[in-house]
Chain A
Amino acid sequence: MKLEFTLNGSTASWDGAPVTRLATALRDDLGLTGTKIGCDAGDCGACTVLLDGRQVCSCLVAMGQVAGRSVETVESLSTEGEVLAALQQSFLDHGAAQCGICTPGMLMAALELVRRNSKPSRAEVEDFLGGVLCRCTGYGKIVDAVMDVVAPAPATAPAAGEAVGSRIVRVDGPAKVTGRDVFGADGIPADALWIRVVRSPHARARFELGDLEPLRRRLAAVLTAADVPSNGYGIYPDIKDQPVLADGQVRYRGEAVVALVGERVDVLAIRDDEVPITWRPEPPLFGVDAARAEDAPRVQADRPGNLLLKGGVKRGDPAAAFDTCAAVAEGTFETAFVEHAYIEPEAGWARRVGDRIEIHATTQTPYMDRDEIANLMRLTPEAVRIVPTACGGGFGGKLDLSVQPLIAIAAWTLGRPVALVYTRPESMAASTKRHPARVKARFGCDADGKLLACDVTALFDTGAYASWGPTVANRVPVHAMGPYAIPNVRTWGEAFFTNGPPAGAFRGFGVPQAAIAHEAMLDELADKLGIDRLEFRHRNALRAGDTTATGQTLAHSAGLAQCLDALRPHWRKAHEEFAAFNESGGERRRGVGIGCMWYGIGNTSMSNPSRMRVGLSPGGTLTLYSGALDIGQGSNTIMLQIAADAVGLPAEQFDLVTGDTDLTADAGKTSASRQTFVSGKAAEKAGQDLRQQILRLANAGPDAVLSLDGATLSVRDGAEVRTIDLATAGPLMGEGTFDPPTTPLDADGQGVPYATYAFAAQLAEVEVDVELGTVKVLRIVAAHDVGRAINPTLVEGQIQGGVAQGLGLALMEEYLPGRTENLHDYLIPTVGDVPEIECLLIEDREPLGPSGAKGIGEPALVPTAPAILGAVHHATGVRVRRVPLLPHRLREAIVALERNRA
């Protein structure tokens, strides 16, 4: 059907099936990829546009209904070269865009409001943005940006040497607020073939494929396990246990079985039941108890007892120490599978270029992707080029391969570009999850409240494949005693295979689960001794000079006590206010809780180097070549700020080349909160290296001041100014590498697992409706020792986003295969669920880090759930043993508590 409508103020004509979704038509037929698709079901709001001035999900509007009407998309807000619209400018200035995948939808939803009311209240903003999910920001900066739209604060452009510590606007921000950033599904060539993956409906089954020839005649290819040259991948070099396509056996619901390759309309038209697969389902193993049962079948044939890994840390004599304790607390805590729920589903495309394969996909780790694809396809790593697209959120979930193997194999075989974009249910079913944990903890202290002993055993459900399971099982024992000086420690972790989804990396690598246990123990011991919960933690906080349970002496930068000092006034005030509030009785009770954490930055006892380059071309172009992927957290901007100050030129003079494995060096993966600390240090060294080369050319001293004007570089050393003509000096390239110093852990877990640790304490204020069992988080105050905040706005953004995910972990998020495979049954916090989050930045400098900086990505999430659960206990007396604390679970616990008291 041919139809006309008004698109961004101009007449547009379109021809196609009238049932086509507006979102699809905008993106695929009209070239407006600023409108993003996150779910195709009206659950996420990423595709929000205005239809006759009102916000709608363009994934729910039939093109047949658009004829004669007016559609406005993010592209209408500004055009290339023009001044950004006030709303976009406000988003930039406030740091309201992180990964940017929800930003167009947020902007359009906000536009409907600010056209009616340019000075909206917070409540109005929340009502209008309630239908757009954001997984990165925690919403606070978005709400502020909309409320301040008429008077945005001016952006800062720091002078040479002043970039570090300043709130410069993120360098990739303009692309994000205009919708021009190219995400995994945005740059697919028009002539690309598409893949649709047929996935297992069973958690455990054997299967046989029937005659695929009829399908092959309708399509370009039908790929099976036989088409994968080396059909096993995995994070660890020695554990390549996950097939790209299952070979006669599936181990979790959602596992890929067959890939249909062809024209998009053709692969979508084929239903799963048209693919001849004969299934023989077997009883699945769910949960660690089933996996550990004596007669349990093996999930992986070579893994007796379904055990992936075990290990721990032992120091002192906990058994003897417990006997001397004045107070002992113990408990067992359970967590669920948690879904990353990045708003950008996995997506990308590949093409064959001669004897090389080139992959454009959303990822957190280009070099690991490169090596893994080379391995799967039996190519050399040099034959694989990874060109990362913008990444619409990762949080650990885009560290594992997703679309890359299938698009690469299909493009290689067919000699045509091939694309694959996961649907939301497919993304949720296929991708990795946070490990469900059962953490059994026992902590003891003396009569003065000094911790003497702890014993923690954490069992993890690692799902069908190993993925990052070993990382979780290794990291947790190092952190499971919490950020406290305890002389006698036994911590132990075990991970088991089950027929759940593969549990992998998710912001914190198991530490958030362990923190729920150790913080509950701290609360209980403090309560037993009648010591204030904050002061009890302060008394036991690890400080510089203390020795950890792995025998590592913390030389510097252990700012937990400072974090607690910063929280103390808020803590006391909340206690006073809530005592008064609760005095009045009623069904609503308020409570305040506290959570502390520490977090080792970078890989655990493993090398994780980063290499960065800064170039100055003969034409005077200054470029940072960064392999560190910005997945929304802001590393593009951070690296540039660090490099700029190291060179001594203004950040705004830098170009940035990022991610492409042909153009940048390996800066490792964006995980383990390592980019600021590790890659930032490499960027600093690279900048210093370039500066040294310049100073040598100018024969100038270390304090010389540089300025760059076109191809002329001026070096002012005292009163003397020398100029370097870059056209004749030739290209200059500075290089820096950094690998944080660690040592292996011995059988008792003794050694130096991390070069530095982040510390944090968060305070949560909650209101519990005791009749309904609902928890409303009223406020979070987050104090984080980040060493040095390279860009405070970005650090706050990380904290607020981490808090929002911690809130989800505590109160609502539970992935159940087959039951919560969409964003209306699987709940993540909306703008109305995340409270005001006040960030207190503690800067206890880490000498190893760039300008003293450490990391913030994962630390932001870890203390939130413990703080909320502590507040729930303060409000109700209920000690939560299982998250998420859904309303019915809390209500049942309140009833049980009342019954016991009666």
Chain B
Amino acid sequence: MGDYLRPRGLDEALQALTRPFTVLAGGTDFYPARVGRAVTEDLLDIAGIATLRGISETSAGWRVGATTTWSELVEADLPPMFDGLKQAAREVGGRQIQNTGTIAGNICNASPAADGVPALLALDAEVELARRDGARRLPLASFITGVRTTARQPGELVVALHVRRPRGEARSAFLKLGARRYLVISIAMASTLIEVEDGKVKAARVAVGACSPVAQRLPALEHALVGATIDADLGERVALSHLAPLSPIDDVRGSAGYRSEVALVLLRRLLSKVAA
């Protein structure tokens, strides 16, 4: 039986992390990986640290605390640019998972099929990491480095995600494809955020999940969307060549070729949806 620390303050948590701990928050990835066996590792339970929880508006934008749950996010009063993330939140597991699973847990677990990641990429979220003697921020795209691997160093803790406030109007959306309605691991998913000016796309960010080891932004598509009129035809701007950053695989949920094809379909529908 290992140690179990449940600090109330961040300093205490960071002090503890000077030696190895497995970090526990919502438990929704932790326990499923330990079915039918004794838990022996040392645990740092960060769910009791009040400052890590909740969403607040800052001078630059929004700070989403690491242990904010999906349900808290959905119920938060946030501008339309968060709609995509909220739509993703409603597709994470079932209600039970949404009520306990945390946003930082989703990115730290670093599953290729993490439902929160494409929407957070579309938001251009930054990850704030703290350690005993400092802190750093890095873009989410740099934080997740591969299947189940991140840039988090020993001694570091993800404390928040940060989203910058756009200068003008911004909208977002998310679409997920799974083989059943609830409690389903994505076959493919896509999210976008577009900044709007005079009825045209001023800037766009688009990301696709479950079609590569880490969800990917699609820069060529983002570029192609700039200047486009925002109407039902926005989806027509998507071309197969835009999917070059993706590298889908065959698995029990779908074939690689299928994933490429449906990524395209989802993107078209997503852009039509966000334009509507």
Decide if B135 is an interface residue (CB 8 Å cutoff).
no
Of the candidates A42, A55, A887, the one whose C-beta lies within 8 Å of that of B179 is A887
Chain A positions 20-75 with a Cβ under 8 Å from a chain B Cβ: 21, 39-43, 45, 48, 51, 54-57, 59-62, 64-65
B185 to chain A, nearest CB (A): 6
A70 to chain B, nearest CB (A): 14
| Bound form: Cα–Cα A109–B95 in Å | 9
**Are A130 and B252 in touch, CB under 8 angstroms?**
no
Decide if B181 is an interface residue (CB 8 Å cutoff).
yes
**Are A41 and B32 in touch, CB under 8 angstroms?**
yes
Q: Residue of B at shortest CB range from A39?
A: B35
Decide if A181 is an interface residue (CB 8 Å cutoff).
no
Decide if B93 is an interface residue (CB 8 Å cutoff).
yes
Of the candidates B100, B253, B262, the one whose C-beta lies within 8 Å of that of A60 is B100
**Are B254 and A888 in touch, CB under 8 angstroms?**
yes
**Are B31 and A887 in touch, CB under 8 angstroms?**
no
| Bound form: Cα–Cα A477–B239 in Å | 52
Of the candidates A112, A130, A822, the one whose C-beta lies within 8 Å of that of B181 is A130
**Are B36 and A40 in touch, CB under 8 angstroms?**
yes
B176 to chain A, nearest CB (A): 11
Decide if B245 is an interface residue (CB 8 Å cutoff).
no
**Are B100 and A61 in touch, CB under 8 angstroms?**
yes
Q: List A contacts of B17 (CB < 8 A).
A: none
**Are B94 and A820 in touch, CB under 8 angstroms?**
no
| Bound form: Cα–Cα A811–B179 in Å | 8
Q: List A contacts of B177 (CB < 8 A).
A: 772, 774, 887
Decide if A902 is an interface residue (CB 8 Å cutoff).
no
Chain B positions 229-276 with a Cβ under 8 Å from a chain A Cβ: 252-255, 257-259, 261-262, 265
Q: List A contacts of B26 (CB < 8 A).
A: 60
| Bound form: Cα–Cα A269–B39 in Å | 8
**Are A62 and B180 in touch, CB under 8 angstroms?**
no
Decide if A543 is an interface residue (CB 8 Å cutoff).
no
Q: List the one stretch of A297-305, A360-368, A381-389, A420-428 in contact with chain B.
A: A420-428
Interface 0/1 of A182-223, CB less than 8 Å to B: 000000000000001000000000000000000000000000
**Are B94 and A45 in touch, CB under 8 angstroms?**
yes
Q: Residue of A at shortest CB range from B47?
A: A65
| Bound form: Cα–Cα A773–B2 in Å | 48
Q: List A contacts of B95 (CB < 8 A).
A: 54-55, 109, 112, 127-128, 130-131
If A54-B99, A772-B265 touch, whether A268 touches B37 (CB-CB below 8 Å) is yes
**Are B180 and A17 in touch, CB under 8 angstroms?**
no
Q: List B contacts of A812 (CB < 8 A).
A: 179-180
Chain B positions 115-152 with a Cβ under 8 Å from a chain A Cβ: none
- Per the CB 8 Å criterion, the residue count for chain B at the interface is 49
Decide if A632 is an interface residue (CB 8 Å cutoff).
no
If A42-B97, A131-B95, A423-B36 touch, whether A64 touches B6 (CB-CB below 8 Å) is yes
**Are A832 and B180 in touch, CB under 8 angstroms?**
yes
| Bound form: Cα–Cα A78–B47 in Å | 32
Q: Residue of B at shortest CB range from A58?
A: B96
Residue of B32, B93, B97, B184 with highest tally of chain A CB at under 10 A: B32
| Bound form: Cα–Cα A128–B99 in Å | 11
Q: List A contacts of B181 (CB < 8 A).
A: 126, 130, 830-833
Decide if B183 is an interface residue (CB 8 Å cutoff).
yes
If A65-B47, A271-B37, A832-B182 touch, whether A56 touches B31 (CB-CB below 8 Å) is no
| Bound form: Cα–Cα A290–B45 in Å | 51
Of the candidates B1, B35, B258, the one whose C-beta lies within 8 Å of that of A424 is B35
Q: List B contacts of A891 (CB < 8 A).
A: 258, 261-262
Of the candidates A18, A62, A196, A816, the one whose C-beta lies within 8 Å of that of B252 is A816
Decide if B212 is an interface residue (CB 8 Å cutoff).
no
A591 to chain B, nearest CB (A): 19
Q: Residue of B at shortest CB range from A271?
A: B37
**Are A57 and B179 in touch, CB under 8 angstroms?**
no
Decide if A824 is an interface residue (CB 8 Å cutoff).
yes
Q: Residue of B at shortest CB range from A272?
A: B37
Decide if A829 is an interface residue (CB 8 Å cutoff).
yes
Decide if B160 is an interface residue (CB 8 Å cutoff).
no
| Bound form: Cα–Cα A18–B44 in Å | 11
| Bound form: Cα–Cα A54–B95 in Å | 9
**Are B32 and A62 in touch, CB under 8 angstroms?**
no
Chain B positions 31-68 with a Cβ under 8 Å from a chain A Cβ: 31-32, 35-40, 43, 45, 47-48
Decide if B27 is an interface residue (CB 8 Å cutoff).
yes
Chain B positions 14-40 with a Cβ under 8 Å from a chain A Cβ: 24, 26-28, 30-32, 35-40
| Bound form: Cα–Cα A819–B252 in Å | 8
B45 to chain A, nearest CB (A): 6
**Are A425 and B45 in touch, CB under 8 angstroms?**
no
| Bound form: Cα–Cα A64–B187 in Å | 35
Of the candidates A1, A61, A772, A774, the one whose C-beta lies within 8 Å of that of B4 is A1
Interface 0/1 of A425-441, CB less than 8 Å to B: 11000000000000000
| Bound form: Cα–Cα A783–B213 in Å | 48
Decide if A19 is an interface residue (CB 8 Å cutoff).
yes
Decide if B71 is an interface residue (CB 8 Å cutoff).
yes
**Are A43 and B32 in touch, CB under 8 angstroms?**
yes
Decide if A892 is an interface residue (CB 8 Å cutoff).
yes
Chain A positions 398-430 with a Cβ under 8 Å from a chain B Cβ: 423-426
A199 to chain B, nearest CB (A): 11
| Bound form: Cα–Cα A61–B96 in Å | 11
**Are A62 and B45 in touch, CB under 8 angstroms?**
yes
| Bound form: Cα–Cα A774–B261 in Å | 13
Q: Residue of B at shortest CB range from A811?
A: B179
Decide if A771 is an interface residue (CB 8 Å cutoff).
yes
Q: List B contacts of A886 (CB < 8 A).
A: 179, 253-254
Q: Residue of A at shortest CB range from B254?
A: A888
**Are A131 and B262 in touch, CB under 8 angstroms?**
no
Q: List B contacts of A42 (CB < 8 A).
A: 28, 31-32, 93, 96-97
**Are A130 and B182 in touch, CB under 8 angstroms?**
yes
Residue of A56, A112, A816, A891 with highest tally of chain B CB at under 10 A: A56
Q: List B contacts of A831 (CB < 8 A).
A: 181-182
| Bound form: Cα–Cα A65–B48 in Å | 7
Decide if A827 is an interface residue (CB 8 Å cutoff).
yes
| Bound form: Cα–Cα A722–B231 in Å | 87
Decide if A83 is an interface residue (CB 8 Å cutoff).
no
| Bound form: Cα–Cα A16–B99 in Å | 25
**Are B97 and A425 in touch, CB under 8 angstroms?**
no
Residue of A54, A133, A888 with highest tally of chain B CB at under 10 A: A888
Decide if A265 is an interface residue (CB 8 Å cutoff).
yes
| Bound form: Cα–Cα A808–B2 in Å | 42
**Are A132 and B94 in touch, CB under 8 angstroms?**
yes
**Are B71 and A54 in touch, CB under 8 angstroms?**
yes
| Bound form: Cα–Cα A2–B4 in Å | 13
A336 to chain B, nearest CB (A): 11
**Are B36 and A56 in touch, CB under 8 angstroms?**
no
If A18-B4, A772-B262 touch, whether A827 touches B180 (CB-CB below 8 Å) is yes
Decide if A448 is an interface residue (CB 8 Å cutoff).
no
Decide if A825 is an interface residue (CB 8 Å cutoff).
yes
If A19-B4, A423-B35 touch, whether A887 touches B182 (CB-CB below 8 Å) is no
| Bound form: Cα–Cα A54–B257 in Å | 41
Q: List B contacts of A51 (CB < 8 A).
A: 99-100
**Are B38 and A265 in touch, CB under 8 angstroms?**
yes
**Are A887 and B254 in touch, CB under 8 angstroms?**
yes
Q: List B contacts of A131 (CB < 8 A).
A: 93-97, 182-183
If A425-B36, A772-B262 touch, whether A65 touches B182 (CB-CB below 8 Å) is no
| Bound form: Cα–Cα A55–B94 in Å | 10
Chain A positions 266-324 with a Cβ under 8 Å from a chain B Cβ: 268-269, 271
Taking A824-B32, A830-B94, A892-B257 as known contacts, 19 extra A-B pairs with beta carbons closer than 8 A to each other, sorted by chain A number, are A19-B1, A40-B36, A43-B32, A59-B31, A60-B30, A60-B96, A62-B4, A127-B90, A127-B95, A130-B95, A130-B181, A130-B183, A424-B35, A426-B36, A771-B262, A816-B252, A819-B252, A822-B35, A887-B187
Enumerate 5 A-B pairs (CB-CB under 8 Å) in ascending A order: A17-B4, A19-B43, A60-B26, A62-B27, A62-B43
9 closest cross-chain pairs (CB), A and B? A131-B94, A832-B181, A130-B182, A888-B258, A423-B36, A41-B32, A888-B254, A830-B182, A18-B4
